[in-house]
């Protein structure tokens, strides 16, 4: 999990994306589970469409959305709420956050 996540973040940062928050999970499966729940809520409850195209972001373009429609703070609150409803064994082991954007 660590290598996959760090590799993905490195590619994004290399291409000019700024990393705002990172949740660290011991299990890749737990991280994917959280991501799937968040994407489901963004797409089906908040009706947010995919914002970027494949040529605009190297990997992960299907997880994009417009920050005007869902500010970072709202997204972070959503993730924290989902985490609190998860069994302790599926919660992140630590979190990095920087809202200096």
pLDDT computed for residue 59 by the predictor = 67
Whole-angstrom Cα distance, residue 79 to residue 55?
27
The number of distinct structural domains making up the chain is 1
What domain range is 69 assigned to? 2-97
pLDDT computed for residue 32 by the predictor = 86
Q: What is the dihedral of CA 65, 94, 91, 48, to 10 degrees?
A: -10
pTM, 2 dp: 0.73
Which residue, 75, 65, 70, is CA-closest to 97?
75
Per-position pLDDT tens, the chain of length 101: 455 677 777 887 887 887 888 888 888 888 888 889 998 998 899 898 888 888 887 666 677 777 788 888 888 888 888 887 877 766 777 666 664 43
């Amino acid at each position: 999990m660590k290598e996959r996540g760090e590799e993905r973040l490195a590619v994004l940062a290399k291409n000019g994306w700024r990393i705002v928050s990172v949740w660290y999970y011991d299990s890749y499966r737990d991280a994917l589970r959280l991501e799937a729940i968040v994407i489901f809520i963004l797409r089906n409850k908040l009706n947010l469409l995919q914002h970027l195209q494949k040529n605009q972001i190297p990997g992960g373009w299907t997880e994009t959305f417009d920050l005007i429609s869902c500010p970072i703070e709202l997204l972070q609150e959503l993730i924290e709420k989902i985490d609190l409803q998860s069994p302790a064994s599926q919660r992140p082991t630590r979190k990095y956050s920087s809202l200096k954007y």
